[in-house]
Amino acid sequence: MNIKLFFVLSVIVVSLQNCKKSEGQDYFTSPTDLVALYHLPDSFLCTAVKEVPGLGSVPWTANVLGGIRDGKLIITFITYEDSVNVHARERLSFNNIPLNIGKYIVESDTYLPFSNYSRWLSDGDVLNALWELAPEMDNNIEVVQLDSTSRTITGKFNVHFKITTQGSFGFVHSEKINFVNGKFYMKY
């Protein structure tokens, strides 16, 4: 138990020391947001490049959960802590996406196609940070293939976020996070 506590405290201290607001940069960055997290071995995956402007980027892979509500697609990409503690750590969600082939602008209005990104703690049920879309950026999702017989969808996306909620649990997250060149394959 003491070793786990020491490890967690060490990660927090290192994360806080590495948070920075560079000269000429009007937003914070944190290397915590570029740490690769775990995804379950699954045939339904999402890949993207996760960018923290001013800090760098990493390849990002997540599991895909999807469904339909009121005739619209709901898509959530999830990463986990690790293979032993399968607790949700990141959720990138898209809602109200038309169930048709096409490219859709994603907005912050929850009645239109919209998206958000969040980080979670504990056993995946404690919100630590929430980002909403940066409206000045080109945010979109495209349904490339739709097979109603097998109920599968292939698509791609580019979204850019600004933090709106920063948790008070010691983890400081970057103010801006982007997911670009995103591709996914899912069953609905």
Domain boundaries, the chain: 2-187
pLDDT band at residue 2 using 50, 70 and 90 as cut-offs? very low
Q: What is the pTM of this model?
A: 0.82
Distances (CA, A) of 129 to 6, 81, 123: 23, 16, 15
pLDDT band at residue 114 using 50, 70 and 90 as cut-offs? very high
pLDDT band at residue 82 using 50, 70 and 90 as cut-offs? confident
Q: How far apart are CA 186 and CA 65, in angstroms?
A: 7
On average, the pLDDT of the chain sits at: 84
Do 105 and 98 touch, CB atoms closer than 8 A?
no
- Predicted pLDDT of residue 170: 66
3-state SS class at 28: coil
Q: How many of the other CB atoms lie within 10 Å of CB of 96?
A: 20
Q: Is the pLDDT of residue 9 over 80?
A: no
Tokens read off for 48: 């993207």
What are the residues whose beta carbons fall under 8 Å from the beta carbon of 135, sequence distance 6 or more? 107, 108
Q: Exposed (0-12), middle (13-18) or buried (19+): which is 135, by Cβ within 10 Å?
A: exposed
- Predicted pLDDT of residue 102: 98
Report the pLDDT averaged over residues 5-20: 39
Phi, psi of 18 (to 5 degrees): -90, -5
Tokens read off for 9: 């405290």
pLDDT band at residue 158 using 50, 70 and 90 as cut-offs? very high
Q: How many of the other CB atoms lie within 10 Å of CB of 24?
A: 6
